[in-house]
Amino acid sequence: MKYLFFLTCTVVLLATTCTQAQLTTAILTYKDGKQLIGLGKIRASGKIKFKKTKKDKAQNYSFDSITRATVYEPYGMVHYVRRKVSGTGNYAIVELVKQGKVTLYRTYDRSYRTMRSEPDQFGNGFVMSGSAPIKNYYVQKEGEPAITHFGSNQLFSKNFKKTAAAYFEDCPVLVQKIQDKVYRKRDLKAILTFYIDECAVDTE
């Protein structure tokens, strides 16, 4: 039974690894608006592995020459951009999640271990372990030169309420909702919508 369970996990892991290793439909957009269509993926280094056709040899492209990389991921087409991270002086390659007067970004980093206890067919308890991606969230108001890190989905992440209260201090009603836990970290999209609808100043 244990051998079967181990074999199943191994097959799933290998299948997942093979899928992640494949290049999928990708579009590179240059600063002058020119686009390059082909196959690619975002590498851990932040560069884009890309080739025009399956027969071509893949090359690495950096965000020094392009403004955006659009890559087909299992959950849909994703726009990747490079942004400076506030308070660090560093740059990050981030996914564009929601764009507007306040834009939401995220990154997927290395996985963390998850564990849970489930009974087997004989009623005995055992622990299953797996992994889940670490999602880091960032926001950026119009006109801001850098993105602000709002924490991650890790168990021990930065104080979301404190960060959000400071960032949205120009919207007291929203800050109060965050302090009262009406809005939590998982409600970032709703928080941005509320801020735009109720507090964002139209500078046009």
For the whole prediction, is pTM greater than 0.85? Answer: no
| pLDDT band at residue 153 using 50, 70 and 90 as cut-offs | low
Domain layout of the chain by residue ranges: 2-154
Taking only the tens place, the pLDDT of each residue in 20-59 is 458 999 999 998 999 999 999 998 888 999 999 999 999 9
Contact 159, 166 (CB under 8 A): no
What are 12's two structure tokens? 């799933």
Distance CA 20, CA 162 (A): 36
Question: How confident is the model at residue 33, as a pLDDT?
Answer: 92
